[in-house]
């Protein structure tokens, strides 16, 4: 018989899944579990200033580590993280939410216990809208099974799950035979996959789909892979590399999946972002006769808010939820399996150089200066890098700093040990031109787009990758939402570089529709390190100061928090943002 | 025909209800409505640093003004305020939530528009759990009717409602005859009240209930009124006064309803808070042979976490949702009507002095020193005041400041133009001993107990009562959650005094179950005014410093924000908190 307590069982399972840190804020309904966490010595508690900060930090940890845990108290904690968990749901981040709760016994007669909103199950019902699975652990005898089920769900679907742990259950003995559910030790589960017959049907459909896709790819002249965020979430980066290297088919990422493949890879052509991005990448993708969309969310931001320019008759579109080759839909054939089979299929290997088939011979380029009518995909990327390099070398002294220059100068500062975290707005759009060297070393809520993600995300990502230093790009508006989580950064001796793009308000909204509601108070951001007694603050007004400051963060303050108040013109913005806001503005008015 | 735009109609209706300020943070899906607000010149937009801060500010405004409005963008705004709105629901605060949303037209084909979580109605479904009514304004022709319905609901039930305003509807013309729905101009609606027959049934029940109650009251020796928070929410303070003055029955408040009656009133005996409060008040209430509970929520905090000591056979219990006299329940008879009828009924007027009937002759007092075996209710309050006065006069120089002394010294500083706002923890429990002079000049989330309410609430309450100065009592833990909303305080030139009870962590939790998770980083709180360039910061370590500082906030910085960092011992706490945490601690372990 297993005498383990429910809370300790949960802790063991989380540890088995590779979790080492738990983010949250304690409260009386969850204190017992916090004590178990502390005593377990296996999972470190990271308590943030506010639950919202803990939520974003746990989400970032989940994205980097492969799984993350947020642990809060009932309602006054849980209902503060609804937005952060919704973001994890929308962008497929494998986040486990554990909430303390009133004891099962004290719920009888439905008394008005503090923190209760309406009914005792109100919080769980709310979370059912933003999680893929949820459970109230109301029976210690069933707890192991219940816990294993939701942990299996988070691994299969890469979306948040919710576990409610009443305070009179957390220390209850489970009194059951120890089980080792296969799902916790197997590979990816097959959502919807049931008996043997069903599995055979899926196999047949899979073979058909792969055969059809192979034919389409081999007969195409200019195929291109768009590698989406699910490649990262399902841990398929190596498979993607294998496919790319085997076939020599060039690959683009999306806004949400930037850095899913090292941006130094010879076959990487850049971020495809519709009307927002490099025109050359857009043209290459949109004139392709075979688009291979792997795990890409077809969001408006990913495609630059323009009507989706993807022609289905030329596309292979596969995600963890659906697959279609041209107009054929295949039921229950999913990304993970499809990619495995595709790699094994009879795909032609293309020549890297001088192959007529791969040359770009589209007709979009007549009205553009910097595009050759006959260049290879490899040139696309070289061209981008060349441009960045030239931009860097032309630094002028006493020249007022601009958004464009921030990103140009920053580009040469990024190493293999950098994680770039971009908040929403120009922090994101400007970052898209940065070259990220490692895999998944770029984080941004690029679809759901909740402001305030980036500073707390630095906590989660640096704890998940301790040998990496985060560079946070955040607007002043977003910083005012969650920036005080630098307090948590200080408590746990983390060392991010926080670059505040300070333009006195909601710069992304001004070009859509401006008014006094887009103004915010200007803070003395560089003095904020005095409040927490940790880190170094800088005020940046010129290109020269920014360059010197970057140098100092690396040479002098390499083991410290650095906060850069980069003072921009109120109406300054990146070219990408300008294009995006023009498009969004039309919808607002 | 009415050519009014949907957004402008909504603004007009809010104005008619007495709303003058709208709290929120703009975002692209709600920008059009923000522009209408700005152009209307009727409602002032108060944009906070974060939606959470706007939520608490709007809730406080609702509590003070009688109705409040929170206006946010879709999901990334709305889902950040779920906790704040849940608090308003739990504590019956009449808060209107308006959320921008994707246009109805752009929702077709269910595309992945930014900010969307799962389905387009996900946000509304979540809000259905924490509001009393909700509507998606998807049809301009029905918009007036829909808006009037939810505004009627918020007035009838004093609980939050949700209005979702798609961005392609906000400027649509309504094209209907202008209507003036009677409900907007009538008094309180009767929930569940339908046709004439039903109304007659209710009248009969009401007469029966009042007759039974009158009999019980008149035949009792020691009746006492417990005036709950609904007296304030439904605007029944004058009725309560009338009842008290007509009958000379003494009145207590609850934790959540503190200041529902002026605490200088001769018949006010204090806050009844079970085991937490003054023993004398507890004894008077618990030995009463006729408890008249008017609009009181029977929460655990209100009754000091002890098993409810209220004997139903001696009680008249009436709220906006139910009425019972002893064990008789009356359907559909509600607080508002009951109070009106009770005042008109044949209640005996008691003598204020020397009436044997009113003397306290209970038997609880043998083991207590400071209770006379034969005193009148009026003495209860005098005794409390006497005690406070003595405490004040004994200030010692260089004596380290304690929680107890903070509240004792503060008591003489409160005037008729003070609103006291207490956050959760000792900020609340310590505040219960303060004497509040005006009606509803004390605010605290004393049932739902979400940390972080108080600083943003200062914004809402001072805008609602501009001639009052808020005194905010907030722990360091709660301040780290939402304290940076002092930025919003600065933007709108507000002048609260913020007293941070700084004990290096979650002091309310330490006595229940302590661990490193209850520690937080110590901030230099007094320097925080340097960050925003507004206000004056103070460090307080002794009683003397605190006294001088209070004087300075009044004489020198009367038109400024004042932030007091009151450095307490880590384990210092008020006697009330000590008693409460002892009780809570037993449930956690």
In this prediction the ipTM stands at: 0.92
Nearest to A126 by CA among A153, A180, A162: A162
A381 burial (CB, 10 Å; 0-12 / 13-18 / 19+) is buried
What are the DSSP calls for A470-509, one per residue? EEEEEEHHHHHHHGGGHHHHHHTT---EEEEEE-SB-TTT
Cα separation, A391 vs A330, whole angstroms = 47
pLDDT band at A304 (very low <50, low <70, confident <90, very high): low
How far does B587 lie from chain A, in Å, by closest CA?
A: 8
Pick the closest to residue B86 from B99, B98, B95 (CA basis). B95
Bridge partners of A4? none
pLDDT band for position A313 (cuts 50, 70, 90): confident
Contact criterion met (CB < 8 Å) for B118 and A527: no
Are A544 and A471 contacting, i.e. CB atoms less than 8 angstroms apart? no
**What value does the mean pLDDT of chain A take?**
88
Q: Which of A574, A549, A542, A502 is nearest to A401 (CA)?
A: A542
pLDDT bracket for residue A39 (50, 70, 90): very high
Mean pLDDT to the nearest integer, A377-404: 72
Mean pLDDT check: name the lowest of A27-36, A249-258, A350-359.
Answer: A350-359
Would you call A523 and B517 a contact, using CB atoms and an 8 Å cutoff?
Answer: no
Per-residue pLDDT of A175-211, as tens digits, reads 766 555 544 443 444 444 456 777 787 788 899 999 9
A167 to chain B: nearest residue by CA?
Answer: B588
Residue B511 to residue B34: CA distance in whole angstroms:
47
Residue A539 — φ and ψ, nearest 5°? Answer: -110, 130
Is residue A82 over pLDDT 90?
A: yes
Work out the percent of chain B whose per-residue pLDDT is above 70.
Answer: 86
Among A450, A504, A506, most B C-beta atoms within 10 A, so best to mutate, is: A450
Q: Kindly identify which residue of chain B lies nearest to residue A72, measuring between CA atoms.
A: B517
**Cα–Cα distance measured from residue A44 to residue A38, given in angstroms and rounded to the nearest whole number:** 7
Closest CA to B281 of B356, B181, B360, B397: B360
Residue A156 DSSP SS3:
helix
- Would you call A583 an interface residue with chain B, using a CB distance cutoff of 8 Å? no
CA B347 to chain A, closest CA, distance in angstroms equals: 32
Name beta bridge partners: A253. A227, A271
pLDDT score, position B318: 94
- CA proximity to A127, closest of A156, A101, A107, A106: A101
Label residue B110 exposed, middle or buried (CB < 10 Å: 0-12, 13-18, 19+): exposed
pLDDT at residue B368, as a whole number:
31
Which residue from B213, B208, B156 is spatially nearest to B184, judged by alpha carbons?
Answer: B156
Degrees to nearest 5, angle at CA A454 with A255 and A301? 25
With residue B583 as reference, give the H or E element that holds it: helix B575-588
H-helix or E-strand spanning residue B568: none
pLDDT at A148: 97
| Closest by Cα among A434, A512, A511, A510 to A473 | A434
Is 60 exceeded by the pLDDT of residue B123? Answer: yes
**What's the pLDDT score for residue A393?**
60
Check CB contact of B437 with chain A, cutoff 8 Å. no
Q: Do B530 and A518 touch (CB under 8 A)?
A: no
- Which residue intervals of A66-139 are DSSP H helices? 82-90, 122-127
Q: CB contact, 8 Å: A125 with chain B?
A: yes
Strands (E), B428-496: 442-443, 469-475
Are A300 and B487 an interchain contact pair (Cβ–Cβ within 8 Å)?
A: no
Provide, as residue numbers in chain B, all residues whose Cβ is less than 8 Å from the Cβ of A588: 28, 31-32, 167
- CB neighbours of residue B115 within 10 Å: 27
The alpha-carbon gap from B541 to the nearest alpha carbon of chain A, in Å, equals 18
Considering A186-200, B55-69, B290-304, B329-343, the range whose residues carry the highest mean pLDDT is B55-69
Note the pLDDT of residue B191.
47
Report residue B394's pLDDT band, with 50, 70 and 90 as the boundaries. Answer: low
Distance of CA B218 to the CA centre of its chain: 33
Range of weakest confidence among A19-28, A216-225, A307-316, A340-349: A307-316
Most confident of A297-306, B14-23, B278-287: B14-23
- Give how far Cα A273 sits from Cα of A303, B316, B549, Å: 5, 67, 57
Confidence of residue A379 (pLDDT cuts 50, 70, 90): low
DSSP of A22-84: EEE---GGGHHHHHHHHHHSSSEEEE-SSHHHHHHHHHHHHHHHS-EEEEE-TTTTGGGSHHH
Strand-pairing partners, residue A176, are A2
Q: What is the pLDDT of residue B170?
A: 96
pLDDT digits (tens, 9 = 90+) for B1-12: 457 999 999 999
Lowest mean pLDDT among A259-268, A318-327, B349-358: B349-358
Closest-CA distance, B243 to chain A, in angstroms, reads 28
The proportion of chain A whose per-residue pLDDT surpasses 70, expressed as a percent, equals 86
- Does A539 touch chain B if contact means CB atoms closer than 8 Å? no
Name the residue facing A450 among B31, B34, B76 (closest C-beta): B76
B119 Cβ neighbours under 8 A, 6+ residues apart:
B110
Whether A189 has its CB under 8 Å from any CB of chain B: the answer is no
Chain B neighbors of A517, CB-CB under 8 A: 26, 34, 37-38, 45, 47
pLDDT for residue B99 is more than 70: yes
Per-residue pLDDT band for A447 (boundaries 50, 70, 90) equals very high
Pairing label, strands A497-502, A469-475? parallel
* pLDDT grade for B298, boundaries at 50, 70 and 90: confident
The answer to whether B555 faces chain A, any CB pair under 8 Å, is no
Distance (Å) from the alpha carbon of B315 to chain A's nearest alpha carbon: 18
Point out the residue among B79, B512, B516 whose CB comes nearest to the CB of A38. B516
pLDDT score of A375 more than 70: no
* Sheet strand arrangement including A536-540: A442-443, A418-422, A469-475, A497-502, A562-567, A536-540
Using H for helix, E for strand and C for coil, what is the string for A293-347?
Answer: EECCCCECCCCCCCCCCCCHHHEEEECCCCEEECCEEECCCCHHHHHHHHHHCCC
Chain A residue nearest residue B76, CA to CA: A450
With beta carbons less than 8 A apart as the criterion, state whether A526 and A520 touch: no
**Joined tokens for residue B27:** 């975002």
- Smallest Cβ–Cβ distance between A517 and the set B38, B452, B481 belongs to B38
**Stretch A72-92: mean pLDDT, rounded?**
98
Q: Are the beta carbons of B518 and B509 closer than 8 angstroms?
A: yes
Show the tokens assigned to A366: 């007549």
Q: Tell me which residues of chain B, numbers 376 to 415, contact chain A at a CB-CB cutoff of 8 Å.
A: none
State mean pLDDT over B484-508. Answer: 97
Mean pLDDT of A547-570: 96
- For residues A459-497, one letter each, b for 16 or more C-beta atoms within 10 angstroms of the residue's C-beta and e for the rest, the string is bbbbbbbeebbbbbbbbbbbbbbbbbbbbbbbbeebbbb
pLDDT at A203: 85
pLDDT tens column, B225-268: 999 999 999 999 999 999 999 999 999 999 999 999 999 898 99
Contact B463/A at CB under 8 A: no
pLDDT reading at A385 higher than 70: no
Confidence grade of residue B312 (pLDDT, cut at 50, 70, 90): confident
B199 touches chain A (CB under 8 A): no
- Contact with chain B for residue A580, Cβ under 8 A: no
- The pLDDT assigned to A31 comes to 96
Q: Does B587 touch chain A if contact means CB atoms closer than 8 Å?
A: yes
Give the number of other Cβ atoms within 10 Å of residue B191's Cβ. 13
pLDDT at B557 over 80: yes
Largest CA-CA distance found in chain B, in angstroms, rounded: 79
- DSSP-assigned letter for residue B523: P
- Looking at mean pLDDT, say which of A103-117, A210-224, B353-367 comes out highest: A210-224
Residues in chain B within 8 Å Cβ distance of A130: 79, 117-118, 122, 126
Q: A273 or B453: which carries more pLDDT confidence?
A: B453
List CB contacts (< 8 A) between B513 and chain A.
Answer: 31-32, 34-35
Neighbour-count burial for A104-127, b at 16+ CB within 10 Å, e otherwise: beebeeebbbbbbbbebebbbebb
Separation between Cα atoms, residue A328 and residue A326, nearest integer Å? 6
Task: Mention every residue, 6+ apart, whose C-beta is less than 8 A from residue A161.
Answer: A95, A96, A97, A131, A132, A133, A134, A150, A151, A153, A154
For the four alpha carbons of B296, B300, B303 and B306, in that order, the dihedral sign comes to positive
- For residue B530, the distance in angstroms to the closest alpha carbon of chain A comes to 7
Residue B207 and residue B195: Cα distance in Å, rounded?
A: 19
CB distance from A75 to chain B under 8 Å? yes
Tokens standing for A554?
């690396």
Residues of A with Cβ-Cβ distance to B80 under 8 angstroms = 52, 82-83, 450
Average pLDDT over residues B508-527: 94
Among residues 159-188 of chain A, which lie with CB inside 8 Å of chain B?
167
Q: Which residues pair with A166 in a beta bridge?
A: A101
Which among A82, A111, A301 has the least Cβ separation from residue B79? A82
- Report, as an integer, the average pLDDT of A336-355: 84
Confidence of residue B183 (pLDDT cuts 50, 70, 90): very low
pLDDT tens, position by position, A454-506: 999 999 999 999 999 999 999 999 999 999 999 999 999 999 999 999 999 99
**Strand ranges across the sheet with B268-271:** B268-271, B251-253, B223-227, B290-294, B315-318, B323-325, B328-330
Structure tokens at A352: 């890297």
B23-49 average pLDDT score: 97
Instruction: Report long-range pairs for A415-418 (Cβ below 8 Å, ≥24 apart).
Output: A417/A467, A417/A468, A417/A469, A418/A468, A418/A469, A418/A470, A418/A471
Which pLDDT score, from 0 to 100, does residue B579 have? Answer: 73
Helices A196-218 and A335-344: angle between axes, nearest 10 degrees? 50
Give the pLDDT confidence score for residue B372 in this predicted structure: 32
Mode of pairing for the β-strands spanning A469-475 and A442-443: unpaired
> Strand ranges (DSSP E) for A95-222?
95-101, 133-136, 161-166
Nearest to B161 by CA among B117, B194, B131, B201: B131
Whether the predicted pLDDT of A559 surpasses 80: yes
Residue B297 and residue A118: Cα distance in Å, rounded? 13
Give DSSP secondary structure letters for B378-445: HHHHHHHHHHHHHHHHT--TTPBP-HHHHHHHHHTT--TTEEEEE-SSHHHHHHTTSPP-STT-EE--
């Amino acid at each position: 018989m297993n005498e383990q307590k429910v809370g300790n069982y949960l802790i063991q399972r989380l540890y088995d899944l590779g979790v080492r840190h738990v983010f949250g804020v304690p409260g009386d309904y969850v204190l017992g579990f916090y004590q178990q966490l502390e005593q377990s010595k296996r999972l470190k508690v990271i308590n943030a200033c506010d639950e919202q900060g803990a939520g974003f930090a746990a989400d970032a940890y989940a994205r980097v580590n492969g799984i993350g845990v947020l642990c809060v108290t009932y309602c006054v904690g849980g209902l503060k993280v609804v937005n952060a968990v919704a973001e994890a749901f929308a962008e497929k981040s494998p986040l486990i939410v554990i909430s303390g709760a009133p004891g099962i016994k004290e719920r009888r007669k439905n008394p008005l216990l503090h923190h209760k909103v309406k009914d005792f199950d109100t919080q769980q019902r709310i979370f059912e809208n933003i999680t893929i699975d949820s459970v109230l652990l109301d029976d210690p005898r069933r707890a192991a099974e219940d816990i294993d089920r939701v942990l299996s769900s988070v691994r299969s679907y890469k979306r948040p799950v919710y576990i409610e742990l009443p305070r009179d259950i957390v220390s209850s003995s489970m009194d059951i035979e120890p089980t080792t559910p296969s799902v916790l030790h197997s590979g990816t589960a097959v959502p919807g996959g049931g008996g043997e017959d069903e599995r055979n049907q899926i196999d047949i459909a899979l073979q058909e789909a792969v055969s059809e896709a192979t034919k389409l790819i081999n007969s195409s002249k200019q195929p291109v892979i768009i590698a989406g965020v699910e490649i990262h979430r399902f841990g398929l980066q190596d498979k993607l590399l294998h496919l790319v290297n085997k076939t020599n088919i060039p690959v683009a990422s999306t806004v949400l999946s930037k850095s899913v493949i090292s941006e130094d890879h010879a076959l990487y052509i850049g971020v495809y972002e519709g009307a927002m991005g490099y025109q050359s990448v857009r043209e290459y993708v949109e004139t392709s006769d075979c688009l291979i969309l792997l795990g890409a969310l077809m969001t408006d931001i990913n495609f630059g808010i323009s009507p989706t320019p993807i022609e289905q008759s030329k596309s292979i579109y596969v995600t963890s939820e659906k697959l279609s080759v041209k107009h054929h839909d295949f039921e229950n054939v999913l990304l993970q399996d499809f990619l495995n089979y595709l790699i094994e299929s009879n795909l032609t290997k293309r020549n890297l150089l001088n192959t007529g088939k791969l040359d770009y011979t589209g007709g979009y380029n007549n009205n553009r200066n910097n595009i050759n009518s006959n260049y290879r995909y490899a040139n696309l990327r070289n061209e981008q890098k060349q441009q960045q390099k030239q931009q860097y070398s032309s630094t002028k002294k006493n020249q007022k700093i601009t958004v464009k220059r921030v990103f140009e100068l920053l580009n040469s500062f990024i190493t293999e040990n950098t994680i770039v975290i971009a908040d929403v707005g120009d922090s994101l759009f400007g970052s898209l031109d940065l070259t990220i060297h490692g895999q998944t070393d770029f984080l941004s809520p690029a679809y759901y787009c909740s402001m305030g993600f980036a500073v707390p995300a630095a906590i989660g990502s640096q704890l998940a990758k301790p040998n990496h230093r985060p560079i946070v790009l955040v607007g002043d508006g977003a910083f005012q939402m969650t920036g005080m989580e630098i307090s948590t950064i200080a408590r746990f001796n983390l060392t991010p570089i926080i670059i505040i793009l300070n333009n006195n308000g909601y710069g992304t909204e001004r070009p859509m529709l401006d008014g006094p509601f887009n103004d915010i108070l200007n803070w003395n951001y560089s003095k904020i390190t005095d409040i927490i007694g940790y880190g170094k603050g800088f005020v940046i007004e010129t290109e020269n100061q920014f360059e010197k400051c970057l140098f100092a963060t690396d040479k002098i303050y390499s083991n410290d928090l650095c906060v850069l108040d980069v003072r921009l013109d109120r109406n300054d913005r990146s070219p990408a943002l300008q294009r995006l806001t023009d498009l969004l503005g039309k919808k607002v008015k």
